[in-house]
């Protein structure tokens, strides 16, 4: 076929676009091996509180962003290996399948997602290309020799099964985006192939698919709801935690070398440590609309901050206690309370880590 001799320029252009965006990530300051979720958000990654509240364009931009060089490398290798699909569906058809599968994978990730994870990558789009290849194998079975068809179908099945296993076992992979991309790609590919007049109607069908795909994407975005974004609250907790601990450790260091009296240390503890920490805890307790999956973590955070305040209150009381025996008793209680603080902090951090896996 003449199509078989054409160069897959759209495949090359898509690879170039993804690489260019990755270079932009690096220029933006992102780590080439592991950019942070916040950096991906700033560049256009999909983040439910933003994507589902007016910034629908993130479903498109996130397709061209990646979480590091390994991520983009694997996706681009898979895309290059599937360049034959462009020759089967034509350049416009191939581009439509890629974009629609990417949007479909993004929507599937939003539907199946638990919480406000940041998502990015060409995986949904790339898997859609393989899904379209599957549609070709099904609908054009009679046009291929039996041995060639069996080898191709076996290779495609192995590729999809292997990636399904990886998605089920590896961390940080949106399996729903892969599955959504495959399904959309298969459907789009079938729509471009079915019927005796498929070749003559390819351009018209492609335009129709694009319009339908964008319309369905818009409906999905408007109908889905995102969890309330708890990032500002948790960021404030982290900021206050580090600031107060740094201030307290600095004051303790000065007291040990005789630069501060006990009364001065007590004043610093009450004014610069306890006051902002208590205010932060009040803000945490007053937080509303906490997503169901985050409530255990917030409960552990409340327990931890309460224990931390209790420990500092004991130390403050010891500093202000003139009776040495009573002061020693308060300091012993403080040491015991610090052990409780460490235990509750470990529980909170374990829950937070579990939620990010």
Residue 3 has pLDDT above 50, yes or no: no
| Range name among 2-16, 18-32, 172-186, 310-324 with the lowest pLDDT average | 2-16
Q: How confident is the model at residue 4 (pLDDT cuts 50, 70, 90)?
A: very low
Place of tokens 């990417």: 102
How far is residue 207 from each of residues 92, 118, 201, 202, 212, measured CA to CA in Å? 9, 30, 10, 9, 9
The larger pLDDT score, comparing residue 198 to residue 353, is at 198
Q: What percent of the chain has pLDDT over 90?
A: 59
Helices 146-169, 175-193: crossing angle, 10 deg rounding: 150
> What is the pLDDT, as a whole number, of residue 164?
74
| Range name among 5-9, 15-19, 161-165, 168-172 with the lowest pLDDT average | 168-172
* 175 CB-near residues (< 8 Å, 6+ apart): 164, 167, 168
Tokens representing residue 316 in the block: 């403050």
Residue 290 has pLDDT above 80, yes or no: yes
> What is the pLDDT, as a whole number, of residue 66?
93
What is the overall mean pLDDT for the chain?
A: 88
* Average pLDDT, integer, range 24-31: 91
Burial label for 292, CB within 10 Å (0-12, 13-18, 19+), is exposed
Burial label for 333, CB within 10 Å (0-12, 13-18, 19+), is middle
| Range name among 100-109, 180-189, 191-200 with the lowest pLDDT average | 191-200
Whether the CB-CB separation of 93 and 206 falls below 8 Å is answered with: yes
Residue 169 has pLDDT above 90, yes or no: no
Look at the alpha carbons of 352, 293, 288, 222 in this order and tell me if their dihedral is positive or negative: positive
pTM: predicted TM-score of the whole model, two decimal places:
0.68
93-148 pLDDT, tens per residue? Answer: 999 999 999 999 999 988 876 556 788 999 999 999 999 999 999 988 878 788 88
The half-sphere exposure of 84 on its side-chain side, counting CA atoms within 13 A, is 10
């Amino acid at each position: 076929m003449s199509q078989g001799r054409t160069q897959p320029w759209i495949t090359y252009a898509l690879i170039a676009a993804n690489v260019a965006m990755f270079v932009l990530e690096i220029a933006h300051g992102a780590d080439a091996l592991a950019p942070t979720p916040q950096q991906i958000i700033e560049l256009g990654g999909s983040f439910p509180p933003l994507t589902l509240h007016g910034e629908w364009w993130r479903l498109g931009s996130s397709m061209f962003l990646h979480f590091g060089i390994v991520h983009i490398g694997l996706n681009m290798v898979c895309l290059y290996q599937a360049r034959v699909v462009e020759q089967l569906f034509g350049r416009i058809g191939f581009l439509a399948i890629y974009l629609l599968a990417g949007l479909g994978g993004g929507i599937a990730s939003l539907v199946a997602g638990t919480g406000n994870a940041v998502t990015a990558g060409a995986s949904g789009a790339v898997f859609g290309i393989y899904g379209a290849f599957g549609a070709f194998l099904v609908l054009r079975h009679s046009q291929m020799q039996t041995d060639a068809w069996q080898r191709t179908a076996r290779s495609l099945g192995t590729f999809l099964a292997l990636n399904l296993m990886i998605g089920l076992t590896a961390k940080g992979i949106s399996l729903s985006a892969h599955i959504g991309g495959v399904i959309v790609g298969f459907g789009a590919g079938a729509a471009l192939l079915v019927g005796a007049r498929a070749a003559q109607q390819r351009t018209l069908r492609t335009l129709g698919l694009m319009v339908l795909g964008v319309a369905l994407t818009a409906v999905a975005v408007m109908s889905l709801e995102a969890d309330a974004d708890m990032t500002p609250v948790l960021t404030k907790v982290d900021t206050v935690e580090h600031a107060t601990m740094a201030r307290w450790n600095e004051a303790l260091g000065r007291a040990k070398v005789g630069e501060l009296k006990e009364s001065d240390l007590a004043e610093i503890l009450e004014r610069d440590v306890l006051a902002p920490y208590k205010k932060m805890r009040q803000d945490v307790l007053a937080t509303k609309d906490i997503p169901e999956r985050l409530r255990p973590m917030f409960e552990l955070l409340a327990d931890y901050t309460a224990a931390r305040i209790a420990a500092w209150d004991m130390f403050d009381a010891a500093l202000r206690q003139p009776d040495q025996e009573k002061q020693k008793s308060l300091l012993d209680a403080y040491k015991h309370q610090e052990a409780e603080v460490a235990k509750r902090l470990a529980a909170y951090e374990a829950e937070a880590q579990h939620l990010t896996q």
